[in-house]
């Protein structure tokens, strides 16, 4: 039996970064549903939270899981569920773009705290500012199509 521990910090947002998730109550419902659905698909979500215009998710990958498949399963099913339950006034979609960065064992608690404190964090900084910092900090290059 293989022993694997690979943590990935995912960040994604609704289409056009529109703040669909505009209440704490709605976000709580969505995060709870994402966690429950992931569990059924054998995706281990260590921590999930976010704000009106994005989601952070700390996932421990299983031996047969890929980043692409995990994020596809989480985003695809959750947008379907949001629309089916009419939780937003217009059709909800997640943006295709997402971030995925590995997290070392020594940084797990720091990432959990960061994800946990999204409400407070975004009273001081916009998602755009956070996005720009991620691009810079992790050496991503913005796609120039």
144 lies in some domain? no
Write out residues in the chain with pLDDT < 50, as ranges: none
Residue 76 Cα distances to 19, 23, 93, 95, 96, angstroms: 18, 21, 8, 10, 10
Question: CA 72, CA 131: separation in Å to the nearest integer?
Answer: 20
- Could you list the residue range(s) of the whole structural domain that residue 56 is in? 6-137
- CATH number, domain of 58, equals 3.30.70.1290
- Residue 134: per-residue pLDDT: 84
- Residue 138: per-residue pLDDT: 84
55 lies in some domain? yes
pTM over 0.85? The answer is yes
């Amino acid at each position: 039996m293989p022993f694997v521990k690979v943590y990935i910090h995912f960040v994604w947002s609704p289409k056009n970064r529109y703040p669909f998730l505009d209440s704490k109550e709605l976000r709580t419902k969505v995060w709870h549903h994402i966690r429950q659905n992931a569990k059924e698909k054998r995706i281990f979500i260590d921590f999930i939270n976010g704000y009106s215009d994005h989601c952070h998710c700390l996932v421990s990958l299983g031996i047969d899981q890929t980043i692409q498949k995990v994020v596809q399963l989480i985003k695809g099913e959750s947008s379907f569920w949001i629309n089916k339950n009419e939780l937003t006034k217009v059709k909800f979609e997640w943006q295709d773009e997402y971030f995925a960065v590995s997290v070392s064992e020594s940084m797990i608690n720091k990432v959990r705290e960061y994800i946990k404190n999204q409400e407070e964090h975004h009273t001081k900084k916009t998602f755009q500012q956070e996005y720009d910092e991620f691009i810079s900090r992790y050496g991503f290059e913005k796609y120039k199509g």
